[in-house]
Structure 1
């Protein structure tokens, strides 16, 4: 398998335009077209190589990740519901089992950021089914004890925000504050029985 390489400059400009406008289209994209566009954008950004480690390239990629987060938040804001959140997370979580650590890290970061945003959306609809919640937790849970602290922290954070959403779905108000940095894998597991994810 060939190693990922930095995208050509013209391609970067095209994807930057798509990222900045995809969530603002009126009327919104059809679900099928949105899925195809999202898959293409995630592939382009997550597989972007790091061979070119210049400050310009690093800044460009950071800008792309920020634009991606903004696009995902915009798409979720259009339809603030668990159904829409699951649809977006399914595209992101495809990359968590990747053999490349950098691709896994980027997907976990996107997942945690989107989950955190979802908990802050006013009027977020939790009435729809969230059948993939258990799979999302298990995928993130595999990285809770990752040796890279940033990946571990993002994975713990993602699980925490998932927990808040599920508590909200059950009609309860999450009590207290929790710091993912200070919670171990055993504490996370014991405080959240996986068998209750879809209650």
Structure 2
């Protein structure tokens, strides 16, 4: 078996269409799946090679392997878009998207075609994410979904704000809602969910770093900072701090904004958490204010004044 490429996969019955993303025949198949939902012919036996995240391949073989993988994952993607397949097939669909994006970028392209493809894929991803519950048995749906979203965010066309907002709300609800039970498994799963949430926030900010975009992302966290559940508030503040930290690392890439977009409201809301009785919240709020001061001072092109005793004093003095 070792060294035999045929041993990597197994023969299964799948639909016929699986050409390259750049070919006109694939566009026709995908448009048909999205618009008419017509079923492709069955009966063709193909070789499915599983995608293994993190698996290293030799550089000279990567291009050829990606082309082969792309043809196979397109079959899974088209099948899922037509509403066919079970939960396991949904996982194959999610795993196929990073491969599809990698293959697209390797061809020197930065756009998924047809233009509606990206939105339709994200809608399907959100549908799968909504099947994830806090207390269910271990599953990989959320992890695979976040990886797929992060890869799609690197390709054009840019999403409409309403679509991004829906995507964020779905992700926040899954990642920040506290579970009913507090077992070791649930706590470990929650930690992974938080890492997934921070990954998607970083990915969405990196697509177009700016004060406006930072404010847009942070606004989706504000309602969770006022949650009646203390654990939800702690997690929301942690995500806020992670977002501001990443924003500081991206400051050289930030686009110019004609004016500061309501960042005073952001600072005020963070200040309200400084005296919070929960130590985690107050400490993270203090760090978030300091990071926000760095961001605003960079935007104004000024350095921190040595006489300032607090980050908030720095923000206020920089406005004069």
Q: What is the TM-score normalised by the length of structure 2?
A: 0.52
Offset, 1:190? 4.7
Q: Conserved in 2, the CA contact under 8 Å of 1:82 and 1:128? A: no
Q: Which residue of 1 aligns with 2:134?
A: 6
1:129 Cα shift? Answer: 3.8
Tell me how far apart the structure 2 counterparts of residues 130 and 197 of structure 1 sit (CA, whole Å).
Answer: 12
Post-superposition offset of 1:38: 0.7
Structure 1 stretches of 4+ with a deviation exceeding 6 A read 196-199
Aligned residue pair count: 183
Partner of 2:142: 15
Q: CA deviation at 1:188?
A: 5.3
Distance 2:144 2:202 in 1: 16
- 253, 262, 268: which one aligns with 1:123: 253
Pair 1:43–1:151, CA change in 2 (3 A): same
Q: Which residue is equivalent to 2:182?
A: 53
Note closer, same or farther for the CA distance 1:59–1:118 as it changes in structure 2 (3 Å cut).
Answer: same
Structure 2 gaps, min length 5: 1-132
Moved more, 90-99 or 67-76: 90-99
Render the CA deviation track for 1:72-94: whole Å, top value 9, x for unaligned.
Answer: 11111111111111110111112
Are 2:225 and 1:66 aligned? no
In the alignment, is the contact (CA less than 8 A) between 1:133 and 1:198 conserved in 2?
A: no
Give 1:24's match in structure 2, choosing from 151, 176, 179.
151
Match of 2:295 in 1: 165
Deviation of the 1:56 alpha carbon: 1.3
- Structure 1 residue 147 corresponds to structure 2 residue 274: no
- Please name the residue that 1:36 is paired with: 166
Q: Which whole-Å CA distance do the structure 2 matches of 1:129 and 1:23 have between them?
A: 29
Cross-structure match for 1:88: 217
Could you list the per-position Cα deviations for residues 49-106 of structure 1 after superposition, in whole angstroms to 9, with x for gaps in the alignment? Answer: 2x32221111111011011101111111111111111110111112112222111111
* Residue aligned with 2:225, SS: coil
CA distance in 2, matches of 1:98, 1:130: 27
The TM-score normalised by the length of structure 1 is 0.80
| Aligned mates of 1:198, 1:73 — CA distance in 2 | 28
Counterpart for residue 101 of structure 1: 230
1:112 match: 241
What is the distance in 1 between the residues matched to 2:191 and 2:145? 16
Say which structure, 1 or 2, has more relative contact order (CA 8 Å, 6+ apart).
1
Cα offset, 1:191, TM superposition: 5.0
